[in-house]
Amino acid sequence: MATIQTVNLPLPALPAGWSADKDFKAVGTLSSAIQRNIEPVGPHFLAHARRKRHNRTFSEDERITAQENVKKVEDGEDDDISEPEDPLMLSRDAKDWKGQDHYAVLGLSKYRWRATPEQIKRAHRKKVLRHHPDKKAAAGATDENDSFFKCIQKATEVLLDPTKRRQFDSVDEAADVDPPSKKQVAKGNFYKLWGPVFESEARFSKKQPVPLLGNENSTKEEVEEFYNFWYNFDSWRSFEYQDEDVPDDNESRDQKRHIEKKNANARRKKKTEDSTRLRHLVDDCLAQDERIKKFRQQERAGKDKRRLEKEAEAKRLAEEKEQARIEEERKKKEAEEAAKVEREANKKAKEAAKNAAKKNKRVLKGSVKDVNYFAKSGEPSAAQIDGVLSDVELIQSKIDNEQLAALAGRLTSAGKDAAAVKAAFAEEAKRLVGEGKLKDGEIKTLV
């Protein structure tokens, strides 16, 4: 049966300035005091029962429970942050903390820069539980050297500070992945061999996420993006972690400035060397990348195809131009021949028209001759002949070939009828006067 304990709980003090007259307002009455027995429950009851069962005092129970908790932590902690400890690492001098592998000290070698702050804290807790000097003393260990415990503390201090951890990660060569050789690439998978290399180098990139190496099915644009990124790699990597320690005393300012300048020059040199190393690494990967060869072959095939198409197009245009020239020459020749035929036809027509005109003129002159130049009796005088012929020639000069042919036709129909002949001439003369080609009275003998 649990022992009854009396707990006295005094009422809290009233606030300053409180007055019962103005601040107190009764809303009910207090019940009478009741005495109750309080017993421990939950984990407190279990602890009480455990002490009673094993007949332990409070201090003994706390010590034993703490040991059991440590054992549970050691046994129950995930194996991912549990690595065999190197005897040489356990004997390290804590003063040489810059030369130690902080991840290995905490058992996080396989995680390194990928380790989360939670994993670092868990690893630190586990290492402390195992290597704390008090823990060793409680276990009866006679070795009081706590150098490795100091190494644990320093490793945790560095890795939990973002700035210090970045400085250490910047020079953590254990996280680097060596690039494969040509023989390894020839025997193995190019992407599996080179992928971890660039994954390791990607931890230094200011731009995230970093393009992936891809596989044999990657497009030309994806491959070009990958190599363009790495040839223009923007690295945050620095080398302050390897700086020479600067003295803190104020009496050696010149020495301090000298060391700071020396460290700055060393960092610039290492930065340049790292950039050169990375460029050579990308060059080697590019030279071994079969996709580049495939893209170049496709590009050459495309250029050859375009060249052949261009040549075929030029040949087609040349043939079309030649055909057009031949067609033009043919049409020109046909046009010339047609023009020649037309000229000859026109010439013949003109000759025919000229001959017809001559014939018709002879008909006109013959018609007046046949009617004896309109002499009423006997032979006409020379003056009469000249007057008649002059009028005939004047009419001939004022009419065209068609009108001349029509007049000749009428005169032919008139025959040797002097009146009909003269009437035909008179009609033509009247028409010409009406058209204004002759003046009235200009024809004297034929009207």
Domain harbouring 109, CATH code? 1.10.287.110
160 and 208, same domain (yes or no) = no
Percent of the chain with pLDDT over 70: 92
**Tens digits of residue pLDDT in 52-108:** 888 989 888 888 887 777 666 555 555 556 677 777 877 778 788 888 999 999 989
Q: Of the segments 134-143, 240-249, 250-259, 388-397, which one has the largest average pLDDT value?
A: 388-397
Mean pLDDT of the chain: 85
For residue 425, the domain's CATH number is: 1.10.8.840
- How many structural domains are present in the chain? 3
Q: Is residue 338 part of a domain?
A: no
Final residue in a domain of this structure, among 228, 260, 288: 288
Q: Is the pLDDT of residue 440 over 70?
A: yes
Whose tokens are 């009396």? That residue is 6
Q: With beta carbons less than 8 A apart as the criterion, state whether 247 and 259 touch.
A: yes
153 and 228, same domain (yes or no) = no
Q: Is residue 423 part of a domain?
A: yes
194 and 149, same domain (yes or no) = no
| Predicted pLDDT of residue 235 | 93
**What mean pLDDT do residues 104-117 have?**
90
Which residues, including other chains, have CB under 8 Å from residue 383's CB and lie 6 or more apart? none
Number of Cβ within 10 Å of residue 350's Cβ equals 12
Nearest to 373 by CA among 37, 235, 364: 364
87 and 158, same domain (yes or no) = yes
99 and 144, same domain (yes or no) = yes
186 and 163, same domain (yes or no) = no
Alpha carbons within 13 A on the beta-carbon side of 259:
13
Q: Is residue 15 part of a domain?
A: no
Q: Is residue 127 part of a domain?
A: yes
Q: How far is CA 60 from CA 57, 65, 67, in A?
A: 5, 8, 11
Tell me the CA end-to-end span of the chain in Å, nearest whole number: 178
Give the range of the structural domain holding residue 130, as residue numbers without chain letter.
Answer: 57-172
Q: With beta carbons less than 8 A apart as the criterion, state whether 204 and 235 touch.
A: yes
- In sequence order, the β-bridge partners of residue 235 are 205
Q: With beta carbons less than 8 A apart as the criterion, state whether 261 and 231 touch.
A: no
Q: Is the pLDDT of residue 139 over 60?
A: no
Q: With beta carbons less than 8 A apart as the criterion, state whether 266 and 274 touch.
A: no
Percent of the chain with pLDDT over 90: 32
Higher pLDDT, 96 or 237: 237
Q: Is residue 213 part of a domain?
A: yes
In terms of C-beta density within 10 A (0-12 exposed, 13-18 middle, 19 or more buried), how is residue 334 classed?
exposed
| Predicted pLDDT of residue 424 | 84
160 and 197, same domain (yes or no) = no
Q: Is residue 38 part of a domain?
A: no
The first and second tokens of residue 142, run together, are 């006679």
Q: Is the pLDDT of residue 1 over 50?
A: no
Q: Is residue 94 part of a domain?
A: yes
168 and 250, same domain (yes or no) = no
134 and 212, same domain (yes or no) = no
190 and 119, same domain (yes or no) = no
The H or E element that residue 309 is part of is: helix 290-370
Lowest mean pLDDT among 36-45, 58-67, 277-286: 36-45
Q: How far, in Å, CA of 301 to CA of 306, rounded?
A: 8
The first and second tokens of residue 194, run together, are 């080179």
Final residue in a domain of this structure, among 172, 206, 224: 172
418 and 400, same domain (yes or no) = yes
410 and 379, same domain (yes or no) = yes
| Predicted pLDDT of residue 79 | 52
Q: Is residue 203 part of a domain?
A: yes
Final residue in a domain of this structure, among 224, 257, 288: 288
